[in-house]
């Protein structure tokens, strides 16, 4: 009998986004989020807002929130570090209920974390007093809903650290066509 290692699927992430009424995903596409990006792009209920630098995600998400939409920021931990001032000046100072989905690049459960981005991720969030949840598998995905509930209840950003790559196993060979006229 073989057992498959528990994974985090893009479908589980998107299901949590939909459950919480996410309208926009503000992100910097990268190789680690490729499968997730493909599925979000094919989903007509989600508008993808690509950025050139992660620091732009906070301002765009803030504008969407003020405009009555519900965005999520999807960035990597290195981008979170680059976004520090916009997180402070917008999300925290304006008390915005944002959820930040952060790829935990370099993180490992095995005790040796040579990537400094991973070593600084949690201390950075703690320094800003931003609560966070770790998501590694589909079974952990409901923590995303917990983050949305907490952000809304406290009018503060909450982070979700993705401790594993978004796997595209069993993905369709062709994605459904995105309706014309959508961003």
Q: Which residues pair with 164 in a beta bridge?
A: none
- Gyration radius (Cα) of the chain, Å: 16
Residue 176 placed within a domain:
no
Q: Is residue 4 part of a domain?
A: no
The two three-digit tokens of residue 150, written as one number: 């907490």
In a domain, 147, yes or no: yes
Q: How far is Cα 113 from Cα 90, in angstroms, rounded to an integer?
A: 31
Q: Is 136 helix (H, G, I), strand (E, B) or coil?
A: coil
The rounded Cα 183 to chain-centroid distance in angstroms is 19
pLDDT (tens, 9 = 90+) of the chain, 183 residues, equals: 444 567 889 999 999 999 999 999 999 987 777 889 999 999 999 999 999 999 999 999 999 999 999 999 999 999 999 999 999 999 999 999 999 999 998 888 777 778 899 999 999 999 999 999 999 999 999 999 999 999 999 999 999 999 876 555 544 445 455 555 544
Give the total number of structural domains in the chain.
1
What is the domain-level CATH number for residue 144? 3.40.50.970
User: Considering only CA atoms, which of 41, 169, 163, 178 is closest in space to residue 108?
Assistant: 163
Closest CA to 62 of 97, 36, 31, 29: 97
Would 157 be classed as within a structural domain?
A: yes
| Domain residue limits at 142 | 10-37+48-67+75-162
Residue 1 lies in a domain: no
Q: Is residue 5 part of a domain?
A: no
**Backbone dihedral region for residue 84 (phi beyond 0: left; psi -120 to 50: alpha; all else: beta):** alpha
Angle of the 10-19 helix axis to the 143-154 helix axis, nearest 10: 30
Distance CA 31, CA 183 (A): 21
């Amino acid at each position: 009998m073989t057992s498959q290692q528990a994974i985090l699927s893009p479908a589980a992430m998107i299901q949590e986004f939909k459950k919480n009424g996410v309208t926009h995903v503000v992100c910097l596409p990268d190789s680690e989020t490729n499968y997730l990006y493909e599925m979000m792009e094919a989903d007509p209920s989600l508008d993808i807002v690509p950025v050139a630098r992660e620091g732009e995600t906070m301002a765009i998400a803030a504008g969407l929130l003020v405009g009555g939409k519900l965005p999520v920021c999807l960035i990597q931990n290195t981008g979170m570090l680059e976004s520090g001032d916009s997180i402070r000046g917008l999300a925290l100072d304006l008390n915005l209920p944002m959820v930040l989905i952060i790829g935990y690049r370099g993180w490992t459960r095995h005790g040796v974390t040579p990537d400094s981005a991973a070593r600084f991720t949690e201390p950075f969030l703690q320094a800003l007093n931003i609560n966070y949840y770790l998501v590694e598998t589909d079974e952990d995905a409901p923590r995303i809903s917990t983050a949305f509930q907490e952000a809304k209840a406290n009018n503060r950003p909450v982070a979700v650290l993705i401790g594993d790559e978004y796997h595209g196993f069993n993905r369709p060979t062709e994605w459904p066509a995105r309706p014309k006229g959508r961003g």
